[in-house]
Amino acid sequence: MAPHNGLVHLKEYDIKDSNVELIGSDLDHKVKHASAETEPAWNDGRVGIVPGLFVWRIEDFAVVPIPPASHGIFYDGDSYIILHSQEIHSRSSTQDPNNHPKLTHDIYFFLGARTSQDEAGTAAYKTVELDSFLRGAATQHRELQARPSAAFLALFPHLTLRRGGVASGFRHVDSTRTTTHFPLEGKEEEVVTLLRVFRHQPSSSSGNAGGAAVVVVHEVEPSWRSLDEGDVFVAETAAGKVWVWQGGASSPMERARAAQEGDPVDGAGRLRAERPITGAVAARPSTQGREERRRRRLFRLSDEYGELRFGLVKHGADGISRADLDGSDVFVLDDGGETIWVWEGQRASSAEKAMWLKVAQAYVRHLQREGDADEAHLTPIAKVREGYESPAFLQAMEAA
C-alpha cells in the first residue's frame, strides 16, 4: 500500500498540515534561495562561512538568533533551527576561492512538545531555505522533544528543556502554571517548578561518535506523578527553596548534574539548595526503556511510470548497501528505529524531491497503523543528498 493512503495521524505532530507542500520542488528552491539572500538570520557574515554552532528560535514567523550563553536551553512551546558547521580536514586544499574553510553542515529543526503547527511549519520551511542558502549541501534533521537523536544531543553537553514558550502566529502557548504541595522534611511546601534530571545513553548505531551519555534536564509537571526511581528531580518551592530528590536507582552522573541545578546563588550570595532527599516517596518505575528494534528496510520513491510510487526494495535479511541506491530516485532507509533516513538522488525528479518529508512521515504513520511500532512517530527523520552523505548515514547503510 502506498504510504499516503488510509494512514492514521501522528500523535503529536502532523507537519504535512502546515503550508509546506511545495518543499523540495524546483520552484520552491528558487523562491527559497531568493528569500535566503535577504534573510537576516543567514546573512550575518558567519553562517555558511565559519565553523560553529548556530541556534535560532521561531518567533512570530521570524527567525530570531539565540545567544551562545543560552544554547542548549529549549522551551516545549517553541520551534528551533540549529546549524552545526564543521571544517572539512583533508590533505587537499580546505579553502574556497574566497579563502574560507570548506565546511560540512547539519541543520536540525527541533519541535517542542507543545509547539504550534504554525511554528513547526515555519521551522520546516526555513530549514529548507537555509539548506538552499548553503547550496543544498546540508543534511537536514527533524527532531522531536520526546525523542531527540543522539547526534542532536551530542551538540549540547548540558541540555535543558523548560515549560512555556513565546507567543506565535494564531495560537499562543498556554502560560497557566500548576503547583503541588510536597511534604518536605515534615512540612508541606508549595512546589512551583520541578526539573527531571536523567541520563540518555545513545545506541552504538545512532551515529553519535563514541556513544557518550548525555544528561538532560527536563522541566515536568510539579506533581508526585512525575517522579520515578531511575532519575533525580530538582524542586523549587514558592518560598524560593530548592530541594533535590534522588531516585533510588539514579546514577552518580544524574546526581552530580542535579547538584548543579540545585545550587543556584540567591541575591545575597548564599546557596539555596537544601540537603538531598533520597527515596522519600513510592515513585513510579523508570520508563526510559525503548521498544524492541524493528527490522531494517529500504524503500524507493519513484515516478518512473508517470505516478509516484513507494515500494520496498530490501529488508535487513537481504543485506542493504549503497549499491542499492539509484541517483534517479529518492530512497527511504528505516535503520531499525533509530532514524528514518531519506536519500535524495542527484537526478531525482522535482515531484520526488518535494515529497520526501510527507512520505517519511506517512511511513511512520503506516508503521503505527500496522502495529509495528507504537512510538514510530517519535523517530528522528534526516535527509541527505547524493554526494553529500553524512558519516552517520553511511554507517546506517552499511550496518549489519
Residue position matching grid coordinates 526511581: 229
Q: What is the mean pLDDT of residues 190-211?
A: 66
pLDDT value of position 194: 86
Secondary structure class of 299 (helix, strand, coil): strand
How many angstroms separate the Cα of 391 from the Cα of each of 205, 271, 334, 360? 12, 45, 16, 21
Confidence label for 325 from pLDDT (cuts 50, 70 and 90)? very high
The structure's pTM equals 0.74
Range in 72-76, 88-92, 219-223 the model is least confident about: 88-92
Higher pLDDT, 93 or 4: 93
C-alpha cell of residue 25 = 520542488
User: What does the longest C-alpha to C-alpha distance in the chain come to?
Assistant: 73
Residue 328 has pLDDT above 80, yes or no: yes
Q: What is the mean pLDDT of residues 307-336?
A: 89
pLDDT value of position 21: 39
Confidence label for 28 from pLDDT (cuts 50, 70 and 90)? low
Nearest to 163 by CA among 92, 93, 74, 292: 74
Residue 253 has pLDDT above 50, yes or no: yes
Cα 126 from Cα 132, distance rounded (Å): 10
Higher pLDDT, 145 or 99: 145
Q: What is the mean pLDDT of residues 98-126?
A: 87
CATH of domain 180-222+229-278: 3.40.20
pLDDT value of position 267: 37
Range in 80-84, 128-132, 224-228, 281-285 the model is least confident about: 281-285
Confidence label for 196 from pLDDT (cuts 50, 70 and 90)? confident
The string of pLDDT tens digits covering residues 66-85 is 999 999 999 989 999 999 99
Angle formed by the axes of helices 26-36 and 117-133, nearest 10°: 80
C-alpha cell of residue 41 = 538570520
Higher pLDDT, 244 or 263: 244
Q: What is the mean pLDDT of residues 364-392?
A: 81
Length of the chain: 400
The string of pLDDT tens digits covering residues 5-23 is 333 322 334 433 333 333 4
Residue 88 has pLDDT above 60, yes or no: yes
Cα 65 from Cα 55, distance rounded (Å): 6
- pLDDT over 70, % of the chain: 71
pLDDT value of position 96: 60
Cα 176 from Cα 185, distance rounded (Å): 28
Residue 3 has pLDDT above 70, yes or no: no
Cα 208 from Cα 222, distance rounded (Å): 32
pLDDT value of position 292: 56
Higher pLDDT, 177 or 66: 66
How many angstroms separate the Cα of 232 from the Cα of each of 205, 224, 373? 27, 13, 29
Query: Which 8-state DSSP code applies to residue 320?
Result: -
Nearest to 340 by CA among 314, 355, 359, 316: 359
Q: What is the mean pLDDT of residues 212-240?
A: 82
Cα 21 from Cα 125, distance rounded (Å): 10
Residue 211 has pLDDT above 70, yes or no: no
Cα 374 from Cα 371, distance rounded (Å): 6
Residue 93 has pLDDT above 60, yes or no: no
CB 215 within 8 A of CB 248: no
C-alpha cell of residue 113 = 512538545
Domain ranges within the chain, ordered by starting residue: 180-222+229-278
Confidence label for 186 from pLDDT (cuts 50, 70 and 90)? low
The string of pLDDT tens digits covering residues 258-303 is 777 655 434 333 334 444 555 444 444 444 444 456 788 999 999 8
Nearest to 296 by CA among 323, 334, 330: 334
Alpha helices in 169-297 (DSSP H): 252-261
pLDDT value of position 183: 66
The string of pLDDT tens digits covering residues 29-45 is 554 565 767 889 999 99
- pLDDT over 90, % of the chain: 26
How many angstroms separate the Cα of 39 from the Cα of each of 32, 52, 125, 139? 10, 19, 13, 20
Mean confidence (pLDDT) of the chain: 76
Cα 155 from Cα 84, distance rounded (Å): 8
Residue 176 has pLDDT above 70, yes or no: no
Higher pLDDT, 149 or 279: 149
